[in-house]
Amino acid sequence: MTIATLAEVLQPALSKGHAVAGLVTLGWEDMCAYVAAAEAEQAPVILQAGPSCRAHTPLPVLAAMFRHLAENASVPVVAHLDHGYSQEECRIAIDCGFTSVMYDGSRKPLEQNIEETGIIAEMAHKAGISCEGEIGFVGYANGEQSSGTIPEEAALFASRTGIDAMAISVGNVHLQTGKGSMLDENRIRQIEAVSTVPLVIHGGSGVPIEQRKRLARTSHICKFNIGTELRMAFGQALREAVDRDRSRFDRVEILRETYDPVMQAARRAIASMAHEA
């Protein structure tokens, strides 16, 4: 069994100069493709259950799916709750077998975010798993605007919460489908100067690939969340599968044809942040 906590994959990434892909899952087909991609690249992978995934699949079912895949994988697999918005949601995830939880208090005032994230981190650590928090707010393409992470607040947040990973807002945006803008490397260096906690970039699909590669190797960014580019690969493959034979109606037969394209897209994402020998 290769189930791992977030800290168990991010601390080696921090010390060896690479990052780990946090791949946003929506169903069984993409989960399987992601683990196969990680095995092909011989790299750890973080399977992430975000709000849209949880909206149609209960947490206990997701935990069982993640852990089943981990049991049969040859690389470390993290079962991660992405954007948990309540203590109860995080508690359920911990109780049913997730090995990492992210509590998102980024929309709340600093002191409230620190207090609530600290409670979740303590709960997670008592269960022997990891906790990620977010300071600053990462906005959404064509939606809520970002609020950049203030380095001094990041230092306070990291030291007082005891988190294992810190998501930051440095020009990254969720749900970016087109060419994204460059991350603010100056702000990243300022945050690195005041904290040793592994850093996380949400909205990694919007980060230009060359910058993603460089920061994975030269900064404290140890985790890039990748969702949109993988969902786009799935959607394109699904449309092509349907169009190839419109008389087909068997969902298993149709969905099978999304596996290779999604696996290859996941391989590219994982390879873009892997350690270079």
**Beta-carbon contacts of residue 12 (< 8 Å; ≥ 6 apart):** none
Token pair for residue 97? 């077998």
In Å, what is the CA distance from 110 to each residue of 89, 101, 113, 212?
Answer: 21, 20, 5, 28
- Among 43, 46, 90, 65, which Cα is nearest to 226's? 46
For the question of residue 82 being annotated catalytic, the response is yes
- Among 220, 239, 233, which Cα is nearest to 259's? 233
Q: Which amino acid is at 97?
A: G
What is the three-class DSSP state of 109? coil
- Of 82, 95, 164, 184, the active-site residue reads 82
Q: Where are the alpha helices (H) located in the chain, listed in sequence order? A: 6-16, 28-41, 51-54, 59-71, 87-95, 110-126, 151-161, 185-192, 209-218, 228-244, 251-256, 259-271
| Residues marked as catalytic | 82
